[in-house]
Amino acid sequence: MPETRPFDPFHSERLIYRAVNDEPADIAFIHSIQRDAEAQSGSSYSLLKPESIKASTEFKSHIEKCLLGALICLPATRLAEKDKETLPIGIVCLKASPPSHAHHRSSDISIDIAKEYRGQGYGGEAIRWALWYGFQMAGLHRISIGTFSFNTGAMRLYERLGFVNEGRHRESMWFNGGWHDHVVYSMLEDEWLEDQRKAGKEV
């Protein structure tokens, strides 16, 4: 009989995805992500202000309430981390719909990658995994993702991953002395399946 690999839904090619643990190291990592002004300015309408440990702890509860909320991790292979199984480098979430909207089978992706790990393809890999999880495991029909018009790198990434540009909310964000559009992308289940078939992947 042909050898089959064990089913492991919480791995992608280079990354491991795990829950946020109720321990100081995970809270400290969330805090480091949440206080990164560059990252937060590109992903949130909220007015930037210094991030407290209390606010980061509360954000942990938000992650846990998502349809999917996971730390994006690398295997901890360095000698200094020999007592750890994983090294967190980011956070990915599929937001939960309220119960009255659940029949629409739709969600939004949010993603943050720690500054020192950006530009290495980890964000794209984690988004591809979240798409797989959303469509194959959670039974979603539509997944959306958005960014602001000054974040041209994010827009290029989303288009390269196969998201369709749905349009923009014009000048909906005031940031750093100017108005910026919120650009909205989405992918449907059939579009994702077609991309998988073209790539020769089994689904």
pLDDT tens per residue across span 183-200: 999 999 999 999 999 988
pLDDT band, very low/low/confident/very high, at 95 (cuts 50, 70, 90) = very high
Enter the tokens of residue 80: 């200094």
**In terms of DSSP bridges, do strands 68-75 and 16-18 run parallel, antiparallel, or are they unpaired?**
antiparallel
pLDDT at position 87 over 70: yes
Greater model confidence, 11 or 85: 11
Residues in the chain: 203
Per-residue pLDDT at 117: 95
Burial state string for 151-168 with b = 16 or more CB within 10 A and e = fewer than 16: beebbebbeebebeeeee
Ranges assigned E (strand) in 28-141: 68-75, 86-94, 106-113
Q: What is the arithmetic mean of pLDDT over 126-152?
A: 96
Q: Which domains does the chain have, with CATH numbers?
A: 16-198 (3.40.630.30)
Per-residue pLDDT at 48: 81
pLDDT tens per residue, range 34-66: 888 877 776 777 888 888 889 888 888 899 999
Q: Which amino acid is at 1?
A: M
Per-residue pLDDT at 78: 52
Per-residue pLDDT at 1: 42
pLDDT at position 3 over 70: no
pLDDT at position 116 over 80: yes
Q: What is the arithmetic mean of pLDDT over 140-144?
A: 98
Q: What is the mean pLDDT of the chain?
A: 90
Q: Percent of the chain scored above 90 by pLDDT? A: 70
